Amino acid sequence: MSVDPWFSSWNYELFRFLFSHIPPSNAIDDWCGTLISNSPLSCWIFAFCFYYFWTINDSQRLARRRYLIDSTIALALGVMITIVLRPWVHWPAPVLNKSFQPLFPQHLWGNGNGNCFPSHSTLVYFTIAVGFWRLSRSLSVALAAVTLALISFPRVYEGGHYPIDVAFSCGLTILTLLLAWHWPVLGKVSNRLAEDNSPVGALRQLVLFGFLFELAEGFRSVEFLFGVAHHMFAPLLI
């Protein structure tokens, strides 16, 4: 496994710049830890906005729903791409990297993930945020700012991710959204799923409910289920 991330010196200097302007303190550590441990504090607004725009009943309802479905398709594409990349591109969190550990308070050492690339939290919520661009540009910018300030920043500040993890997730968001918006094949899928008389209408409502629930609570249930599945089946793959 690679120890240092892409552009290691750049990441190191960004951490030094960050901590020189916002030195570690108990108050900031507590604030960041609270946001990380209590995902709904920062994530519920995304589920609320998604549900609000989905339920507006006017002449633009189908177009709005198509754009929202585009966002979920882009999100699914992004996650699949990271799953393909992770076996070849991976590195431990900064607080597990001896080159970066001295930058952080010692009580954080050893708390990170053994493979922190990329920032999936950023990927999920930045995709939803930028996905609102065609519906409300001001809302899209506001949600993108919320993502970076309340979701990405605490994880970087606490040493769970490198800046490159966040930057890659943001870039991947743009790529997958452009594919979802402009690839005719995906456009047909969105149009079909947005139709009120779609044969998968009931299933769509069930999936929507589950998606909004997970979106509001930071996909903790999905993370737990994946962890259980990995624990159960990983020995079979060795």
Local confidence band at 195 (pLDDT 50, 70, 90 cut-offs): confident
Please provide the average confidence, as pLDDT, over all residues in the chain: 90
Q: What is the CA radius of gyration of the chain?
A: 19
For 84, the token pair is: 């393909």
Lowest mean pLDDT among 6-15, 129-138, 209-218: 209-218
Query: Which residue, among 170, 159, 178, has the nearest Cα to 120 in the 3D structure?
Result: 170
Average pLDDT of the segment spanning 37-59: 94
Local confidence band at 206 (pLDDT 50, 70, 90 cut-offs): confident
For 191, the token pair is: 């149009």
Phi, psi of 129, rounded to the nearest 5 degrees: -65, -55
Flag whether pLDDT at 227 surpasses 60.
no
SS3 of 85, please? helix
Flag whether pLDDT at 236 surpasses 70.
no
Q: What is the DSSP letter of 151?
A: I
pTM of the predicted protein model = 0.91
Flag whether pLDDT at 3 surpasses 90.
no
For 149, the token pair is: 């300030």
**Distance separating alpha carbons of residues 74 and 77, to the nearest angstrom:** 5
Phi, psi of 3, rounded to the nearest 5 degrees: -90, -45
Q: What is the pLDDT of residue 226?
A: 55
